[in-house]
Amino acid sequence: MSERIPIKEIPAVKVHQPDASKHENAYTPRSRIYVRAVEGTLETFRRFFGLIFLGVFALIPWIQYNSNQAVLLDIDAQRFNIFGLTLWPQDLTLLAWILIISAFALFFVTTFAGRVWCGFMCPQTTWTFIYIWFEEQIEGARNKRIKLDQRKMDFDKFWRKSLKHFAWVTVALLTSLTFVGYFTPIDKLFIDFFTFNVGFWAGFSVIFFTVCTYGNAGWMREIMCTHICPYARFQSAMFDKDTFTVAYNPTRGEKRGPRSRKTSYEEIKQKGIGDCIDCNLCVQVCPTGIDIRNGLQYECINCGACVDACNGVMEKMNYPKGLISFTSEHELAGGKTKIVRPKLIGYALVLTVMISLLVVEMMTRIPLDVDVIRDRNALYRETNEGLIENVYTLKVLNKSQNQQTYQIEVVGLEGNKYIGLDKVTVAGGEVLNLPISIAIDPYALNETVTEFKFKVSSIDNIEESVQVSETSKFIYR
């Protein structure tokens, strides 16, 4: 064992520090991004799409259904009213199904078209672009905003900054009031808030979400996408070589560099120069401040702003469009994108099955729930007539939004004497606690514990009658 194991000496690894002079315009988390305005097909579609969802978000709480707020997620009352559907804590499985389906829908869309949710539908992106629009209208275009920030404070700068932040706070406040209006009656909320009569928790929620919206869309912006949102971190697990993402075509674009517009496209190709003129507009319009020419990056939210900017430059240069486009890795390598593939089919099948199960569960859902609670003070007692009596409390939950009348019957306990109301009326979305007693001759009981059922049936509409049976126990000795 005296022989030494031969060791190969490895030279010390030389660490190459980045050259700061070559990266003076590189993005860092602390730098300020001045987003340049862009026009184009994708930008028009994104604005149209965003306005639709913004309008839906703002209008839904104001819609009335049966003289009530159509969508009211009342946490205090522990019930969610969604038009004609009322969900209770007992219906948590429905909510779980909806959340799972939403997650798989997101996975399906991401596998097919990348992070289009982030670029076109995410509230963070939508509100950020709204705030940027106010910046452009009040402070001017990108270059004017840069110069304004570099300037010392004067009256012009003061009123522009003040007006901008006032607009931001106003948008944040309206957003917060609308959001809180999903959880408390919105018409009363607006009146109470502006008359200073709002309750503590409603007022606190409005102020809290106002600050969050103002901070996220006004100040944090891309930091939410690049450092806080977890979706940017695990999105790569859903990507494959056929996923459509915003990408730069280096084969066509390199070698990049400026050139005269008078030089024809044929002359450029003969000299071996790429289509990219290195104008950096793709960087200036990016809300996260990245250079798409460096390849796929987790900061990219697939908003397509760089696509419109590049297509505009290509059009002015009389070059073919599509140097930056929604494409796949296979297509960039010269192949064809496979739209139908096992991964996408798998997501689609799972999504279809889950949606079908949700529909079946909602169609078979019974708008009535009954719970039986035995008296905990005494298992049984003997009446003056010599009968054995058990005391119960029936909790009858009317899950519908209309008043219902119910008939209560005892099934499976022969010779019983029912003491209490056997017909009750319960308002829509309400719970009725009904104390009742059941007495029986002890000679009619063969066991110390006898199982039976409470049968509760609606009697208002025989054709659409619903009934629920709940098992309980009658105890003697």
Domains and CATH numbers, the chain: 23-62+114-334 (no CATH), 368-475 (2.60.40.10)
- CB contact at 8 A, 368 and 470: no
**Average pLDDT score over residue span 118-134:** 93
Band the pLDDT of 6: cuts 50, 70, 90. low
β-pair partners for 246 = 326
Could you identify the residue written with the tokens 């009211």? 72
- In whole angstroms, what is the distance from residue 301 CA to residue 304 CA? 8
What's the sign of the alpha-carbon dihedral 57, 61, 65, 70?
Answer: positive
Which of the 8 DSSP states describes residue 323? S
What are the two backbone dihedrals, phi and then psi, of residue 144, each rounded to the nearest 5 degrees?
-65, -35
pLDDT category at 189 given cuts 50, 70, 90 is very high
Question: Tokens for 446?
Answer: 């063969």
Q: How many CB atoms lie within 10 A of CB 120?
A: 22
C-alpha 176/C-alpha 58 separation (Å) is: 11
pLDDT at 198 over 50: yes
User: For 51, left (φ over 0), alpha (ψ -120 to 50), or beta?
Assistant: alpha
C-alpha 161/C-alpha 139 separation (Å) is 8
- Alpha-carbon gap, residue 87 to 91, rounded angstroms: 6
* Residue ranges of E strands in 182-251: 245-248
Q: How far apart are CA 115 and CA 136, in angstroms?
A: 26
β-sheet bridge partners, residue 404: 426
Beta partners for residue 397, in sequence order: 369, 431
Six token digits for residue 23? 């990266």
CB contact at 8 A, 287 and 301? yes
Q: What is the mean pLDDT of the chain?
A: 88
pLDDT at 366: 86
Q: Which range, of 10-19, 84-93, 100-109, 228-237, averages the lowest pLDDT?
A: 10-19
| pLDDT number for residue 61 | 95
Beta strands in 265-377 (DSSP E): 324-327, 368-374
In DSSP terms, 447 is beta-bridged to none
Q: What's the pLDDT band for 2 if we cut at 50, 70, 90? A: low
Radius of gyration of the chain (CA): 33
The least confident of 28-42, 141-155, 393-407, 431-445 is: 28-42
Task: Answer for the pair 76, 345: CB distance below 8 angstroms, yes or no.
Answer: no
Look at the alpha carbons of 40, 43, 47, 52 in this order and tell me if their dihedral is positive or negative.
positive
- Residue 87 pLDDT exceeds 70: yes
Pairwise CA distance, residues 335 & 212, whole Å: 45
State the DSSP string of 137-170.
HHH-SHHHHHHHHHSPP-HHHHHHHHHHHHHHHH
Long-range contacts formed by 5-13: CB under 8 A, 24+ apart? none
Higher pLDDT, 293 or 16: 293
> Which range, 93-97, 114-118, 166-170, is most confident?
166-170
Over residues 425-447, the pLDDT tens digits come to: 998 878 899 999 999 999 888 88
- Provide the CA 13 distance to its chain's centre, in angstroms: 47
Q: Would you say 433 and 386 are in contact if contact means Cβ atoms under 8 Å apart? A: no
pTM reported for the whole predicted model: 0.80
- Please name which of 36, 33, 24 lies closest in space to residue 289, comparing C-alpha atoms: 33
Closest CA to 101 of 354, 343, 346: 354
- Say which amino acid occupies 110: T
Cα separation, 288 vs 291, in Å, equals 9
